[in-house]
Amino acid sequence: MSETSEPVIEARGLHFRAGASHILRGIDLTVEHGEVVALLGANGSGKSTLVKSLVGINVLSEGTVRLLGRPLGPGRRGATVDWGRIGYVPQRAGAAGGIPSTAQEVVASGLLHGRRLRLPRGWRDRVGAALEQVGLADRVHDPVHLLSGGQQQRILIARALVREPDLLVLDEPVAGVDMASQEAFAATMARLVDGGLTVLVVLHELGELEPLVTRAVVLRHGKVVHDGAPPPARHDHDRAGHRHQHPHADDNALDSAESRALDLEVRP
């Protein structure tokens, strides 16, 4: 848990341009300690671009980001983000990357960051514990490229968890992961959130994480169009008594998550 009372994420006026495309168009986002914020929106709305910008993979065209009270990029006195306290799970990249590393090696790489180029004492136990959390403790010495896509995704989650982070940023962490593993992942998240973890997670459906999500931020064409209560679960939306009132004029442009989030705004 962080000692600072500053927000865990404080992003102001973010713009990201790539060539002629203006992808993030003025995003403000604040995430406080202990929040679990779901980032929702249609395909191409800018969710991955936003999280990559927040963790420093994309270089912003404009705007400022502070993570755990430190500025992204060199601060005035050289203070920069403490990456050892932040875990990031990229969108379905596969964990193998063509290199025949073992599960243990890939997860251990999560303990290296910034200037830390040596594994800390007790790293094997920490890696074992992280693999246990994603249900892959028995695959510790297996080459990652021989694991299934869903198992590789769980390896990436373990690589983020092994840092015992204060902030976890996840980009569709359970896409392609079977239901039993999604439930196990949600249970692990619930335990960590109880312990004070803050989470920003890109999702298409709240799914098993729904009970944990405290707030939803919906993007559309690179702007925030909703920041507040999470959308109701699908079973609620589909209930016979539910009045389905949101405008349908351009429904084709909305995915189900965005549509349900917007539904909140017209609910009495």
Ligand X SMILES: Nc1ncnc2c1ncn2[C@@H]1O[C@H](COP(=O)(O)OP(=O)(O)OP(=O)(O)O)[C@@H](O)[C@H]1O
**Binding footprint of ligand X on the chain (CB under 6 A):** 18, 21, 23, 41, 43-49
Q: Which helix (H) or strand (E) holds 64?
A: strand 62-67
Give the nearer residue to ligand X in terms of CB position, either 47 or 139: 47
In the complex, what is the shortest distance from the CB of residue 169 to ligand X, in angstroms, rounded to a whole number? Answer: 13
Cβ 149 to ligand X, closest distance in Å?
A: 16
Name 14's bridge partners: 27
Q: What is the CA radius of gyration of the chain?
A: 19
Calpha distance 50→91 (Å, rounded): 12
Between residues 92 and 234, which has the closer beta carbon with respect to ligand X?
92
Beta carbons of 107 and 159 less than 8 angstroms apart: yes
* Cα(65)–Cα(217) distance, integer angstroms: 17
Specify the amino acid at residue 251. Answer: D
Closer residue to ligand X, CB minimum distance, 19 or 74: 19
Nearer to ligand X among residue 13 and residue 75 (C-beta): 13
Residue labelled with tokens 């004492």:
121
* Cβ neighbour number for residue 146 with a 10 Å cutoff: 13
Q: Which two tokens stand for residue 11?
A: 């992003």
Shortest distance, CB of residue 222 to ligand X, whole angstroms? 7
Query: Does residue 28 sit in helix, strand or coil?
Result: strand
Quick one: 53 or 104, whose CB is closer to ligand X? 53
The 3-state DSSP class for residue 143 equals strand
Instruction: Please state the closest distance from residue 98 (CB atom) to ligand X, in A.
Output: 22
Least distance from ligand X to the Cβ atom of residue 183, Å:
23
Task: Report in angstroms how near the CB of residue 23 gets to ligand X at its nearest.
Answer: 4
Nearer to ligand X, 10 or 172 (CB): 172
| Rounded CA separation 53/47 (Å) | 10
For residues 259 and 12, give the distance between their C-alpha atoms in angstroms, rounded to a whole number.
Answer: 26
